[in-house]
Amino acid sequence: MASIELSRVSKLYANGIVGVRDVDLRIEDGEFIIFLGPSGCGKSTLLRTIAGLEGISSGEVRIAGQLVNNVAPRDRNIAVVFQSYALYPHMTVWQNMAFGIKMRGAAAAEIETKVQEAVELLGLTGLLDRKPGALSGGQRQRVALGRAIVRDPQAFLLDEPLSNLDAQLRAEMRLELVKLHRRLGRTTVHVTHDQVEAMTMGDRICIMREGRLIQAGAPLEVYANPADTFVAKFLASPPMNLIAGELVEAGGGALSVKACDEIFPVPDMHRAAYAGYAGKPVIFGVRSEDFYESPQEPHYHPVTVKVVAIEALGPENILIGQLGQTRPIEIAARLTRHFRAAIGSSVTLYVDARPMHLFDVETTKVIARPPLPVTRIAP
């Protein structure tokens, strides 16, 4: 049981490459936290610095309140599950799982009970005498988890543990990891580049980019209130539509965004927050699910879109379309599965602008506005 505290943690490599830059983060005891970011963003490096597998250049790492900068990995009492699983190939499943507590000098009887517990928990019975080479990907994954559980560590650090599994198995394991966390209640850090894992598994997401921690918060909060255009794009598939435009006054104190030959009226509820940006260029952000094929609410704003492609996913259709005539840009709209349109034809879509965001053109940071409730917005 342990909290993990990172203060101003930086990791610079000898060749000048920055692994992690000035990360401040407090992970609460028992929390399930996600490090999310594209490859090379430093999320795995950050995980390894918590594990002690890589030293840090500056800053402090505390586990359970104790400064561990100079504590060897074996004395931090944390367990790491690697993307490659890193099972010891010359040992059987049983030996793999027992290795950790054996190293800690546990008695034979204790080893037996602990391994047996983990084996039952993960459904590994019958595989104990096999070597990793004779296991399937999913089984290896379980053994790697089992090896971590047997140790009874203060915290679990999972480094992209699901990315080598096929889609169906990944979905199953996702759920199982969450259940496991609920059952064991241990602090868990899960590194991933998969936004579905990030949205569904953790109590909090930490989005990283180029070694920096960009934003941390509950998944839906971060989704609804991205800190900048990077987060806005990264935490959704299709990514948020970002349209360069200009914030203009529309008379009577009303504001609109002029972009792509269209005028998007800014909802009154955001007027006060955006007033200072009137007359300036902005980036208008609207999520794909805020496009509708019919004007269900009176305030939905109609736009004309030329159909480029339709991705029929089954439960829904993703429309890729061109917005604007003079300098058209590509947007994605998430529509119902009933939507049909010919490629190349023009269709009218309706935009719900209330969840919109405006971003500063130069800093790409969001222009602050009062957050909306993350679920249904009252009309």
Q: Which is nearer to other proteins, 39 or 326 (CB)?
A: 39
Q: What are phi and psi of 121, to 5 degrees?
A: -60, -40
Q: Does 209 bind other proteins (CB under 8 A)?
A: no
Q: Does 274 bind other proteins (CB under 8 A)?
A: no
Spatial distance between the Cα atoms of 339 and 320, rounded to a whole number of angstroms:
13
Q: Does 147 bind other proteins (CB under 8 A)?
A: yes
From 79, 173, 232, 358, residue interacting with other proteins (rule: CB under 8 A): 79
Residue-wise DSSP of 14-28: TTS-EEEEEEEEEEP
The amino acid at residue 356 is M
Q: Sheet containing 212-217: give its strands across.
A: 78-81, 155-159, 187-192, 32-36, 204-209, 212-217
Residue 288 φ/ψ region, left for φ over 0, alpha for ψ in the -120 to 50 degree band, beta for the rest: alpha
Q: Which is nearer to other proteins, 126 or 133 (CB)?
A: 133
From 15, 65, 72, 279, residue interacting with other proteins (rule: CB under 8 A): 72
Virtual torsion, Cα 112, 114, 120, 124, nearest 10 deg: -70
Residue count at the site for other proteins (CB under 8 A)? 35
Q: Does 48 bind other proteins (CB under 8 A)?
A: yes
Distance in Å, CB of 146 to other proteins, minimum: 12
The answer to whether 241 touches 258, Cβ cutoff 8 Å, is: no
Query: Considering only 34-42, 74-82, 324-332, 361-369, which stretch makes contact with other proteins by CB under 8 A?
Result: 74-82
Q: Which is nearer to other proteins, 11 or 369 (CB)?
A: 11
Q: Which is nearer to other proteins, 102 or 271 (CB)?
A: 102
Classify burial at 309, counting beta carbons within 10 Å of its beta carbon; exposed 0-12, middle 13-18, buried 19 or more: exposed
Q: Does 124 bind other proteins (CB under 8 A)?
A: no
> Using CB under 8 A, which residues numbered 148 to 167 contact other proteins?
151, 164
Q: Which is nearer to other proteins, 148 or 260 (CB)?
A: 148
> Using CB under 8 A, which residues numbered 28 to 47 contact other proteins?
none
Spatial distance between the Cα atoms of 348 and 292, rounded to a whole number of angstroms:
9
Q: Does 99 bind other proteins (CB under 8 A)?
A: yes
Q: Does 78 bind other proteins (CB under 8 A)?
A: yes
Distance in Å, CB of 333 to other proteins, minimum: 37
Q: Does 104 bind other proteins (CB under 8 A)?
A: yes
Closest CA to 50 of 1, 100, 6, 14: 6
Distance in Å, CB of 150 to other proteins, minimum: 10
Spatial distance between the Cα atoms of 215 and 148, rounded to a whole number of angstroms:
29
Q: Does 88 bind other proteins (CB under 8 A)?
A: yes
Q: Does 51 bind other proteins (CB under 8 A)?
A: yes
Q: Sheet containing 58-63: give its strands across.
A: 18-27, 4-12, 58-63, 66-67
Distance in Å, CB of 190 to other proteins, minimum: 16
Spatial distance between the Cα atoms of 245 and 248, rounded to a whole number of angstroms:
9
Closest CA to 214 of 191, 230, 197: 230
Q: Does 142 bind other proteins (CB under 8 A)?
A: no
73, two tokens: 């990995």
Q: Which is nearer to other proteins, 96 or 317 (CB)?
A: 96
Residues of this chain that interact with other proteins (CB under 8 A) are 14, 48, 51-53, 72-74, 76, 78-80, 82-90, 99-100, 103-104, 131-135, 137, 140, 147, 151, 164
